[in-house]
Structure 1
Amino acid sequence: MAIPRARKLIITVAVASVCAFTLGAYLLGVSPFKKVGTIGEAAVCETLGPAPEAVKTLRSVLPEEASYRFSDDTQPRASARETWYTANCLVEGEDRTLLSVSTTLQPADPPEVWLEDHVLEEVDNEGNPTPFAAGEKAVASDVVAAVYVPCTPQGVAPGGQYNLGVVVHLEEPGGSDESRTRKGLIALAKSSALHAHRDAKCTMPSGVDR
């Protein structure tokens, strides 16, 4: 039986509308056609450690964005007797901060004091971080991972105990489950701690294993 002309016209218009919507969604990056930016090894912060591993881990914890920007800022020790060292990595999406990693060489406070002042306050007690094995103290949740690493800088007179405090804060959650995200943040914290331990020329064992 032949399809009436009016019905043919309705079907044609409907199909054209669906095609136009699909094309528009693709061009605008609307799910399920959202454009996802790439994370290149050359772009990631050096302070995160080996780039191939960092890229893989970042993909597992970061939300999907059309583009990613990295800024790396290190204030190295200016001399053999200098005890000032900081390293900061910021990962941004199109219009928001996604993840931050801060590392500071500081006189060694008791681990619980460091945890309260430099970790829990940093993330407003988000995520209820629980311990994992690394350094002198280490905790992680699905929004934060932090490691407190022993460090007496090379060239500094004996008697002064210092630690490197590394805090990784996931400010925008990705699509992974809590367990996988926590595992990824721990990997970033460990890798960043090992890089800083070498860069600051620490003479004490880090206590951090990959």
Structure 2
Amino acid sequence: MKTTRPKILLMAGLALALALAAGIAFSFDLPPFKRSGLIRAEDVCPSLGAGSATVSALDEVLPDKSSYSFREDTRDPRTDELDDSYQTSCFVRGDNEQLLFAGTEMLEYDRAGSWMEEAVAQFESAAALKPFAVGDNGVASSRVAAIYLPCTSHGANRHLSVIVRLKKHGNAADSALRNGLITLATNAASYAHAEARCDLPLNMKN
């Protein structure tokens, strides 16, 4: 049976349309050609802590993007034991969209509960924040992880307040997001404890 000319033209037209659609999908990173960006340890903010655990946690919590960028901002390094301030920030972006923020600051509260109510609950409801064992206080949800860690013996209650906020998340379950954020906050707290010249022992568990 012969294939008529109109059928040949129709099949050729369909093939051309499919090729054009595939080309557009590839050019704009649309499925099934979406490219996943690579998070490299050397690009990650130093304040998030080094090591494969940090990279794995970022891979877990962040959405799939074709590229990622990290910007460190150390506004107030602690220069000596008499300095009573320390502040650093890390901004994580993917495809020009802010995905995650991590900030550490030296603060002083009479109670760890007051720290959570004033410094953390502005980013997440108190009901969603569940405790985990670290420092004087650690709370986390699928969107925020925060740690209140003793730092200096000078002054009443000089602590490091570490807060990691996930602004855009991937497809992981809430429990996996929470665990990933806890890893990032814990690593950031360990880094800050050394960089801020803390003289109290590093207590990562109660």
Task: Tell me, yes or no, if structure 1 residue 186 matches structure 2 residue 186.
Answer: no
Deviations for 1:156-208, whole angstroms, at most 9, x for unmatched residues?
4xx53211110000011112111111110000000000111111121222321
Deviations for 1:64-112, whole angstroms, at most 9, x for unmatched residues?
1222111112221133211111111110122321000011111233111
- Partner of 1:185, secondary structure, is helix
Query: Partner of 1:161 in structure 2?
Result: 157
Give the CA RMSD over aligned residues: 1.7
Tell me, yes or no, if the aligned pair for 2:80 and 2:197 is still in contact at 8 Å. no
Quote how far apart the aligned CAs of 1:124 are: 4.7
Give the letter aligned to residue 184 of structure 1. G
In the aligned structure 1, how far is the partner of 2:36 from the partner of 2:17?
Answer: 26
Task: Tell me, yes or no, if structure 1 residue 142 matches structure 2 residue 169.
Answer: no
Query: Partner of 2:196 in structure 1?
Result: 200
Question: Which structure 2 residue ranges, 5 or more long, are not aligned?
Answer: none
Query: Partner of 2:54 in structure 1?
Result: 54
Give the letter aligned to residue 8 of structure 2. K
- Partner of 1:42, secondary structure, is helix
Query: Partner of 1:173 in structure 2?
Result: 169
Quote how far apart the aligned CAs of 1:142 are: 0.7
Runs of 4+, deviation exceeding 2 Å: 124-127
Identity %, equivalent residues: 34
Tell me, yes or no, if the aligned pair for 1:126 and 1:143 is still in contact at 8 Å. no
Query: Partner of 1:151 in structure 2?
Result: 151
In the aligned structure 2, how far is the partner of 1:181 from the partner of 1:124?
Answer: 14
Q: How many corresponding residue pairs? A: 204
In the aligned structure 1, how far is the partner of 2:96 from the partner of 2:117?
Answer: 30
In the aligned structure 2, how far is the partner of 1:126 from the partner of 1:22?
Answer: 47
In the aligned structure 1, how far is the partner of 2:127 from the partner of 2:16?
Answer: 48
Query: Partner of 2:22 in structure 1?
Result: 22
- What TM-score does the superposition give when structure 2 sets the normalisation length? 0.92
Deviations for 1:116-139, whole angstroms, at most 9, x for unmatched residues?
111111x15388111111111111
Give the letter aligned to residue 29 of structure 1. D
Query: Partner of 2:113 in structure 1?
Result: 112
Question: Which structure 1 residue ranges, 5 or more long, are not aligned?
Answer: none
Give the letter aligned to residue 31 of structure 2. S
Query: Partner of 2:102 in structure 1?
Result: 101
In the aligned structure 2, how far is the partner of 1:103 from the partner of 1:112?
Answer: 18
In the aligned structure 2, how far is the partner of 1:120 from the partner of 1:32?
Answer: 40
